[in-house]
Each structure stands twice: as structure tokens, then as C-alpha cells.
Amino acid sequence: MKTEVPTHMNTVDLTRFSPKWQFRFNFFQQHGAPKEPGFKQAWKALSFGDRLKVNLNFFAFFFGAIYLFILGMWRKALVVIGINIVLIAVSLVLPDIVARALFIAMNFLVASSTNYSYYLEQVKGNTSWNPFEGMF
């Protein structure tokens, strides 16, 4: 007699998350990763506010690795810290405006990948080190 083992999704109670996170998780569950074609079509059908809700995390933009630590994604936070250290070293030989642009771009990358990363960790049980998983 074979018993079926429940998947991680079946054991996750989404009601413990705020309505904003529930909306994001349901969207990712239905449409997949941001790099998938179905995601882009569904994302374009959303209102501007809902697009921002799904695609950007303002806390992650301003607080980066600290916010990832708060969410419990310490592996990804350590990688982001490592990337920032490399950016600091590289910025020493670059013009100031280029260095600032690199850091702003990095913050946008973290802000746009945090919601999907949190979904993967909390709903799918994926605890990888890649902070940009599903983005490219």
C-alpha cells in the first residue's frame, strides 16, 4: 500500500501571511516565475498598483540584505552582501556617477527578486543561495 507524501505547498497555511503576501503568492502560484512568458502576460493585465505589489518590494530596495535577513532568507542575504562588497571594490576605480548607478541597479535587482524568492522559500520550500532565482 503506497501512501502519498504531501508536497510543501499543501502543508503551507497562507492565511498566516498578510493579504499583500497572499496576493503575491497566489499570483506566482498561478503564473510562475517572472522569466516565464505566462507571467509577463498576466502581469501586464494587472493594474499599476498590483504590478508594483507583485514586482517590487520597497523594503528590499531600501534595506537590501537586512530585509532578507528579517524574512529569514539568510543565504540570499549573504550573497547580496558578497555582491555589494565586490561592487564597493569595483567602485573604487570607477567614476562616482557610474558607481552610484551600479548600486542603484543592484538595489532594483534585489527589490524585484525578493517577492519571488520569498515565495520560493515559504511556499515551495526552496532555500537556495541564488537571490535572483527565477528572474533571468
Give per-residue pLDDT as tens, 75-117. 999 999 999 999 999 999 999 999 999 999 999 999 999 999 9
69 occurs within a structural domain:
yes
Domain that holds residue 39: 16-124
Mean pLDDT of 62-67: 96
11 occurs within a structural domain:
no
1 occurs within a structural domain:
no
34 occurs within a structural domain:
yes
Tell me whether residue 61 is exposed, middle or buried, using C-beta atoms within 10 angstroms of its C-beta: 0 to 12, 13 to 18, 19 or more: middle
Distance from C-alpha of 31 to C-alpha of 25, rounded to nearest angstrom: 10
- Rounded mean pLDDT of the chain? 90
Distance from C-alpha of 116 to C-alpha of 76, rounded to nearest angstrom: 12
* Residue of 49, 60, 62 lying closest to 20 (CA atoms): 49
Is pLDDT above 70 for 1? Answer: no
Is pLDDT above 80 for 121? Answer: yes
130 occurs within a structural domain:
no
Number of domains in the chain: 1
